[in-house]
Amino acid sequence: MNGPALRVKGRTALVTGSSRGLGRAIALALADEGADVAVNYVVNKTMAEDVTNAIIAKGRRTVVCQADVSDYDQVIAMRQAVEESLGPIDILVNNAGVISDKTFVKMDHAQWQRVLSVNLDGTFYCSKAFIEGMLAKGWGRIVNMTAFTGQAGNFGQANYAAATAGIMAFTKSLAKELASKGITVNAVAAGFAETDMVRTIPERVLKRLIDQIPMKRLGRPEEVARAVIYLVSSDGDYITGQQISVNGGLFV
C-alpha cells in the first residue's frame, strides 16, 4: 500500500539559519516531504551537521554551508557551494535572523544596523543570489520568515519590528514582479515558538507573554514549518504576496 504523496518530491531547497529553531524544523519538514535541502549556519557547525545527518537519514541529499547572510560575498559563495552539490534551488526559505533588544532610548546604531543587516538585507541578498536559477526554470518558491512584531510592534524591538515589516513589504513587491514568471513569494509570521531564542527569556517574562496568547501556549516549530510546506507545495500554487500568521491568536 502506497503512503501519502510527498508534496515537494524532486525539489531542491535552501533554508537559511537552519542549524536550529524554526529553520531546523523547516529543513526537516522539507526533507520529510521529498526535497533535497541545503543547510545554512553561521557559527555552530556541529548543530548544522546534526541537521544534515537527519536529512540524509530520510534519504535526501544535502549540503551544509557556512555563510553570514548580511555579507553578499558570502551569500554568493554559498550559492556556488549549494549549486555544485545540489544544482539550482527551487525553494528558498529566508529564515536567518537575529534580535538585539533594547528600548529605543538605549538602542545604539550597532544594534539597529546588525538586526537590519541580517534580517532585511539578508533576505534581499539571498533572494537576489538565487532568483536567477528560478527564472531559468520558470518555477520557484520563496518564503520569507517574519514575525508578529512586524505587524503589531513590540516594546524594546524597534529594530526587529522595522526589519520584519520591511520584509513583508519586500515580499509583496517581489511577488508582483515575479508572479508571471512562475515564482511565488510569500511570508510566514511566527509568534512565540519553543526555540532556543525564546528559552532565553526570563521565566516571569515568558509567563506574562504566554498569558497574552489566546491559546495559552507557545507554538511548536513543527507548526510553523507546516505553513511553509503549504506555501511551497502545490497547495499554495495560487497564493503569492501573502503572509500567514502562526501565533496562537496573539495578533489577529
Q: Is residue 140 part of a domain?
A: yes
CATH number at residue 216: 3.40.50.720
Q: Is residue 156 part of a domain?
A: yes
Does residue 1 register a pLDDT over 70? no
Distance, in Å, from the CA atom of 148 to the CA atom of 161, rounded to the nearest integer, reads 8
Q: Is residue 4 part of a domain?
A: no
Q: Is residue 230 part of a domain?
A: yes
Query: Which backbone phi and psi does 193 adopt, to 5 degrees?
Result: -120, 165
Q: Count the domains in the chain.
A: 1
pLDDT one-digit tens code per residue, 102-138: 999 999 999 999 999 999 999 999 999 999 999 999 9
CB 47 within 8 A of CB 20: yes
**Is 72 an active-site residue?**
no
Cβ burial, residue 154 (10 Å; 0-12/13-18/19+) = middle
Which residue from 85, 134, 86 is spatially nearest to 232, judged by alpha carbons?
134
Q: Is residue 71 part of a domain?
A: yes
> Which domain does 163 fall in, by range?
12-246
Catalytic residue selected from 72, 125, 160, 238 = 160
Q: Is residue 1 part of a domain?
A: no
Within 13 Å and on the Cβ side, how many CA atoms surround 145? 30
pLDDT one-digit tens code per residue, 54-88: 999 999 999 999 999 999 999 999 999 999 999 99
Which range among 109-118, 155-164, 166-175, 193-202 shows the weakest confidence by mean pLDDT?
A: 193-202
Distance, in Å, from the CA atom of 34 to the CA atom of 7, rounded to the nearest integer, reads 7
The DSSP 8-state label assigned to residue 4 in this structure reads P
Q: Is residue 6 part of a domain?
A: no
Q: Is residue 195 part of a domain?
A: yes
Distance, in Å, from the CA atom of 143 to the CA atom of 231, rounded to the nearest integer, reads 8
